[in-house]
Amino acid sequence: MNSGDAYRVSQDGAVLDGMHIPGNLLITAHNVTVRNSQIDGFVTDEYENVDYSYTILDSTVGPASGCDSQPGVGEGSFYARGVLIRNHGDGFRDSGNDIEIHDSYVHLCSNPGDHSDGIQSYQGGHNLVLDHNTLDQRDAKDITAPIFLTDLTNTVSVTNNLVAGGTYSIQVKGAGGTVVVRGNRMVDKSWIYGPVESDCGTIQWSDNSLVTIDGNYNVTSTVGPLACHG
């Protein structure tokens, strides 16, 4: 991502707590923590082909209005929990090793020509965990998928997420190692072409279901099991 005129963190172990950053956040140090903060642009730790490491907790990423086509949070070696990504064309970007994303909410938008994704792998690396998140793409028009993981390397876990929208809502393809897709719930008939397009023969697929939800994302009914389709 082009960081532009970003707020830059270059001290190892730095903590940003309760901050409002009116633009982008560029992390070029290791073991940085961002919590209880608002970043109106995007967050990235990729700089001069190096991924740094950070944790982002209980924070909001994205502008209050409009639509930023850039990914909200990336690129590698980060841990996210309780993050709201709003008004971004892409939510999370997986472009490195050791990424964990938990208990977060992505509400996607798009601009003409975008290929919006809730999470997208872009030359992804090893060890991705995507657990107990809500990824809603229903309001975006120029789209690919809420879960678009198509050039992974090894060890992927996609569990207990609520997914809505997309051309095909779950696309998990091209991984060379252990891949688990389990316990996810997909909003019935929220897709354009189909619910799943994935490498079913290489995925440990279980306990995924089609559901209906209310306006607060509470599951109101289980329509039936969600099968894997290639």
User: For residue range 144-168, what is the model confidence (pLDDT) as tens digits?
Assistant: 999 999 986 678 999 999 999 999 9
d(CA 189, CA 208): 15
Note the Cα 10 to chain centre separation in Å.
25
The answer to whether the beta carbons of residues 24 and 44 sit under 8 Å apart is yes
| Mean per-residue pLDDT of the chain | 95
d(CA 165, CA 8): 34
Cis check for the bond before 75: say yes or no (omega within 30 of 0): yes
The predicted model gives 218-222 an average pLDDT of 98
3-state secondary structure of 43: strand
d(CA 181, CA 209): 11
**pLDDT for position 82:** 98
**Position 24, amino acid:** N
pLDDT at 4 over 80: no
pTM exceeding 0.75: yes
The predicted model gives 109-132 an average pLDDT of 94
**pLDDT for position 5:** 75
3-state secondary structure of 122: coil
Give percent of the chain above pLDDT 90.
Answer: 90
The answer to whether the beta carbons of residues 85 and 91 sit under 8 Å apart is yes
**pLDDT for position 161:** 98
The answer to whether the beta carbons of residues 79 and 106 sit under 8 Å apart is no
pLDDT tens track for 172-211: 998 888 999 999 999 999 999 999 999 999 999 999 999 9
**Position 213, amino acid:** I
How many beta carbons lie within 10 A of that of residue 113, not counting itself? 8
52 or 4, greater pLDDT: 52
Residue 123 pLDDT grade (very low, low, confident, very high; cuts 50, 70, 90): confident
**pLDDT for position 80:** 98
**pLDDT for position 22:** 97
